[in-house]
Amino acid sequence: MLHAVRHLGPLFAGLAVAGFVLALLLPAPQVNFSEIGLGIGTTAAFGKSSPSRHHCTTVKDAGDCIEAAQARKTDQRVLWLGASQLHAINDMQSGDRTAPQRLFDGFAPQGLDLVTFSQPNANFQEHLILFEYLRSRLAVKGLVLGAVFDDMRESGVRQSIASALDDPAVRRSLATHAAGRSILVRYGDDQSTPDAVRQDGKEYAGTPAATALDGSLQARVETTVDGWLGDLSRLWRDRGRLRSSIIHGLRQLRGAAWGLRNRLLGIDSSRWTVAVPRAQYDVNRKALAALLDSARAAGVPVLLYICPRPVDAYFPFAPERYAAFKDDIARLAAEKGALLANLEDAVKGDVWGRVDNGVGVIVTDVFHFRDAGHAQLAAALRPYLARQFLGAGK
Amino acid sequence: MIFNSLTYLVFLAAFCLLYWTLPRPARLLLILGSSLVFYGFWRVEYIPVMLASVTVDYVLARKINGAAGARRRGLLVLSLFTNLGLLAYFKYTIFIVDNLSSLAGLLGGDGIAPPDILLPLGISFYTFQSISYTVDVYRGHARPERSFVLFAGYVTFFPQLVAGPILRANEVIWQLDKRPAFNLEDIAAGVRRILCGLFLKVVLADNVAAYVDDAFALAPHTLSAYDVGTMCLLFGFQIYFDFSAYSHIAIGSARLMGIRFPENFNFPYSAVSPRQFWQRWHISLSSWIRDYLYLPLRGLPVRDSSEGGVPVGDAKGGESARRTGALFATWALMGLWHGAAWTFVLWGVWHAVLVLGYRLIAPAARKLRLPSALGWCATFPLIMLGWLPFRAGSIEETARLAANFSQAAKYYDPLPVGSYLLSAFPRNLNPDSYVIAAVLCLMVLVAPVVKDLYERLAAASASSRFAMETMTVVATALLVFIYLRPIRQFIYFQF
């Protein structure tokens, strides 16, 4: 008996304590991952209250927007691809509307059907995949693209967009250019971005449970056992959320560590600089070029705009790099025949949100704004949309 | 079957239950049958290839034992021809055709279409194991096994079938034949090793892998010297966690049956010389290479154990052409064993260069009584840099990435006055990559100390041992439960 306790005791005691800890973790407050990084008091609004769905996120809910769009029976459909600026409303009140909602409502009487897809920290590789996926499904006649300098540093393709690569038509389209082939090599063989490394706000859970098994007998058994355990146990089902919580906790720990470093070294944490790595910039720039080429080849006119940023607040990017980015976007638009709109100063005044800059310092959120900001963005975009897609003012 | 899966855990539990209840003859059949099921869960169609290799070696080893002189040698050559022929066909045909095709292209001829051949899982491991058996019988280090079931069970034994450790017949067959008594210590130790392996794989290796894949997906010319260094470090840790995880699970699974496997890793990144690294990394392979390739090439006496790694103290007569030739030939072939590509050969040659360099400077270092920490400071980065060709997709990509170390612009990014100093060091990877690489490097330094402290605390009293082991189980079981998903193969499956 003593022998058994000595050898198996720690094992059973350890497993029991681990089970107890897991049971304690489960009722822990749920983190809303779709709103991480949106800033303080900022809400993700996708126009779901609208009677006809026109604003979606990824392939995951694309069916809702496609179905609603088909029911609207409009020929002139424009797809708007962007980042969280399009769906985030700071200090959201009843009746507040996002810019996509305002423009959808505003252009509907003129027969222009604006369908928006936006994701937190979206990058142009993801936009490229989504465009290829939605182009025929939505019978897209025009494309609006928002260019955010910060998102040029984003890497990877989230699982809920990479799943579009299962579509043979998408694969065929992407295979026609180097940027697309690179995406196919990286994400096309069930090697979707694992959930551990994405930036705040992207989906952490979602990698299929058995991607390494490659159609083997074990893949089928594994999927069955995994599903069976999921039906049986909430603990098993919630593992994705626990993984996400661990990542979230580590990121908070990192922020605290940087904050401590800044305090100890006397670094002004309100004047931090966000680096946009050249290599990642290059990947996203090539994806944008491929996207503009693909749209032109499909006869889809493009409106490319530089996203608003606060005029009066500290903008945490190297000024010369940001200027080079704007030049780059303008050059690409000219080369590829897209209409360029520089809307960087379009949203003015005290309409921007507040955000923890990652090291515990509350600063102006340079990406998201309140309802009034959405109204300004919609107003600034309206003439460009009319000109490019309704032929007004030409 | 992949270890980091629910399927394997269920399979292993069912197997162990039967293993400890069935009588001996049925138990041997159970081992063989289960190993075939284990293999078949991946690809049923390659079971005959494996069984063919097993049958040939079973028959030839028995004939070798009864033969003498030229016939004995001829039978050994036949065995080697069969095993290496299988390996050559399945693993190297595409490589050879590709090279011939490139050569034909250079000479103005037409390219040759590569054949469609799928590499059977674990072929590099089970053919090497089979070869070691027939060679050992030939040398008189092992006796030929009478029972086909027992021999087939040894070669196909599922814990080590697809990624080692590469075991010698005299280390395992007797254990399979004579089932050890049921022992709770073995069960507890086996479960702990499996938990440890799963932790290394699903918590560490798979998560580091995501950063590695992201980094290697970037265009080489856009990366800085710091990026390439970080990529080498991250991949070095990924492959270590991944492969040592497999070995832990293999050793733990065998331990559940009361069978002891030799260790395959021993803190390799703490090595203070390239030679010591190879005595700590993939020990069963380096020992195999030592006994069946390097020492015969040097004309030195061989050993009959899969422990010890590369030889120490074989420097009699100093550096000779034969010794250096054997070193380079051995390491180039070891590289080629890992994969049919020139990048792997380059990796092997890089290690040969390191070992040769060490041989040349070691006497002077000993005379000067240089501290061993200095050896680590030189060895660790060079070993890590060596992973570049191993992970890069081609020689061209390796050269482009390596070239980043030779350009001043890849070290320094001139910035306007007022920018942070750190911004002058160009970095293109996910910012977390650098932090993770730094933390893992720190772990290399502290891991042996922590292990020593853990063992001392555990040895202090029964209660402290209980507490230490319980805490370890809590931490690993929690994280393994949360992260267990077969989202990635083990890297060594492809070899």
Cβ atoms of A208 and A169 closer than 8 Å: no
Q: Answer whether residue B495 shows pLDDT above 60.
A: yes
Report pLDDT digits (tens) over A316-362: 888 888 999 999 999 999 999 999 999 999 999 889 988 887 777 88
Mean pLDDT of A296-316: 93
The pLDDT, as a whole number, for residue A234 is: 84
Helix axes B184-198, B225-256, angle to 10 degrees: 160
Cβ atoms of B297 and B332 closer than 8 Å: no
Cβ atoms of B276 and B186 closer than 8 Å: no
Rounded to the nearest angstrom, the gap between the alpha carbon of residue B88 and the centroid of all alpha carbons in its chain is: 20
Chain B CB contacts of A274 below 8 Å: none
> For residue B6, what is the nearest residue in chain A, using CA coordinates?
A222
The model's pTM is 0.84
Contacts of B455 (CB under 8 A, 6+ apart): none
Separation between Cα atoms, residue B160 and residue A394, nearest integer Å: 72
The pLDDT, as a whole number, for residue B99 is: 87
* Cross-chain residue pair B486–A156, CB shorter than 8 Å: no
Q: What is the CA radius of gyration of chain B?
A: 24
Mean pLDDT of B138-163: 91
Instruction: Specify burial of residue B328 (Cβ count, 10 A radius: 0-12, 13-18, 19+).
Output: middle
Chain A CB contacts of B6 below 8 Å: 222, 225-226, 229
Report pLDDT digits (tens) over A56-95: 999 989 999 999 998 888 889 999 999 999 999 988 888 8
Separation between Cα atoms, residue B482 and residue B217, nearest integer Å: 28
> For residue B475, what is the nearest residue in chain A, using CA coordinates?
A18
Chain A CB contacts of B184 below 8 Å: 3-4, 7-8
Biggest CA–CA distance in chain A, Å, is: 91
Total CB pairs under 8 A between chain A and B = 161
Gap from B400 CA to chain A (nearest CA, Å): 14
* Cross-chain residue pair A197–B211, CB shorter than 8 Å: yes
Gap from B53 CA to chain A (nearest CA, Å): 23
> For residue B488, what is the nearest residue in chain A, using CA coordinates?
A212
Chain A CB contacts of B10 below 8 Å: 225
Residue B308 gets the label, from left (phi > 0), alpha (psi -120 to 50) or beta, of left
Gap from A126 CA to chain B (nearest CA, Å): 15
The pLDDT, as a whole number, for residue B493 is: 67
* Cross-chain residue pair B470–A14, CB shorter than 8 Å: yes
State the first-to-last Cα distance of chain B, in angstroms, to the nearest integer.
15
Report pLDDT digits (tens) over A211-225: 556 667 888 888 888
Exposure string (b/e) for B54-63, b if CB count within 10 Å is 16 or more?
A: bebbbebbbb
The pLDDT, as a whole number, for residue B323 is: 84
The two structure tokens encoding residue B263? 């260790």
Residue B490 gets the label, from left (phi > 0), alpha (psi -120 to 50) or beta, of beta
The two structure tokens encoding residue B42? 């991946």
> Edge-to-edge strand order for the sheet containing A362-370?
A42-44, A88-90, A362-370, A352-356
The pLDDT, as a whole number, for residue A197 is: 31
Q: Answer whether residue B281 shows pLDDT above 90.
A: yes
In this structure, of A256-265, A322-331, B245-254, B406-415, the range with the lowest mean pLDDT score is B406-415
The pLDDT, as a whole number, for residue B354 is: 95
Angle made by CA atoms A174, A307, A150, in degrees to the nearest 5: 70
DSSP string, B442-466: HHHHHHHHHHHHHHHHHHH-HHHHH
The pLDDT, as a whole number, for residue A100 is: 95
Chain B CB contacts of A237 below 8 Å: none
Instruction: Specify burial of residue B308 (Cβ count, 10 A radius: 0-12, 13-18, 19+).
Output: middle
> Which of A7, A239, A273 is the closest to B423 by Cβ?
A273
> For residue B472, what is the nearest residue in chain A, using CA coordinates?
A14
Binned at pLDDT 50, 70 and 90, residue B385 comes out as very high
> Which of A182, A212, A278 is the closest to B222 by Cβ?
A278
The β-bridge relationship of strands A339-342 and A302-306 is parallel
Chain A CB contacts of B473 below 8 Å: 10-11, 13-15, 18
Gap from A22 CA to chain B (nearest CA, Å): 7
Token look-up 């197997």 returns: B15
* Cross-chain residue pair A14–B40, CB shorter than 8 Å: no
* Cross-chain residue pair B416–A212, CB shorter than 8 Å: no
Token look-up 């992201």 returns: B214
Mean pLDDT of B392-419: 80
Separation between Cα atoms, residue A84 and residue A367, nearest integer Å: 8
> For residue B424, what is the nearest residue in chain A, using CA coordinates?
A275
The β-bridge relationship of strands A88-90 and A42-44 is antiparallel
Binned at pLDDT 50, 70 and 90, residue A27 comes out as low
Report pLDDT digits (tens) over B116-132: 777 788 888 899 999 99
* CATH class of the domain whose range is A30-204+238-389: alpha beta
* Cross-chain residue pair B10–A278, CB shorter than 8 Å: no
> Of A287-296, B209-218, B358-367, where does the model show the most confidence?
A287-296
Cβ atoms of A245 and A28 closer than 8 Å: yes
Catalytic positions of B are 338
Q: Is B459 on the interface with A (CB under 8 A)?
A: no
Gap from A278 CA to chain B (nearest CA, Å): 6
Identity at B185, one-letter amino acid code:
E
Separation between Cα atoms, residue A99 and residue A118, nearest integer Å: 12
Closest CA to B166 of B274, B285, B266: B285
The dihedral through the CA atoms of A192, A194, A195, A198 has a sign that is negative
Question: B330: how many CB neighbours lie within 10 A of its CB?
Answer: 24
Identity at B327, one-letter amino acid code:
L
Report pLDDT digits (tens) over B69-123: 889 999 999 999 999 999 999 888 888 888 888 888 888 877 777 777 777 888 8
Gap from B462 CA to chain A (nearest CA, Å): 8
Separation between Cα atoms, residue A40 and residue A60, nearest integer Å: 26
Separation between Cα atoms, residue B262 and residue B247, nearest integer Å: 10
Closest CA to B252 of B186, B303, B300: B186
Cβ atoms of B237 and B267 closer than 8 Å: no
Mean pLDDT of A366-370: 91
Cβ atoms of A53 and A64 closer than 8 Å: yes
The two structure tokens encoding residue A185? 């090599």
Q: Is B42 on the interface with A (CB under 8 A)?
A: yes
Token look-up 């239950």 returns: B17
ipTM value, please give it.
Answer: 0.79
Could you tell me how many helices (H) and strands (E) chain B has, helices first? 21, 0
Instruction: Specify burial of residue A214 (Cβ count, 10 A radius: 0-12, 13-18, 19+).
Output: middle
Domain boundaries, chain A: 30-204+238-389
Cβ atoms of B143 and B134 closer than 8 Å: no
Cβ atoms of B367 and B361 closer than 8 Å: no
Cβ atoms of A86 and A118 closer than 8 Å: yes
pLDDT mean across residues, chain B:
88
Distances from the Cα of A185 to the Cαs of A387, B216, B350, in angstroms?
A: 38, 12, 28
Report pLDDT digits (tens) over A162-219: 889 988 999 999 999 989 988 888 777 544 333 333 333 333 333 444 455 666 788 8
Mean pLDDT of A384-389: 92
Token look-up 């340079």 returns: A366
The two structure tokens encoding residue B210? 């995501």
Separation between Cα atoms, residue B347 and residue A250, nearest integer Å: 35
Chain A CB contacts of B423 below 8 Å: 273, 275, 318
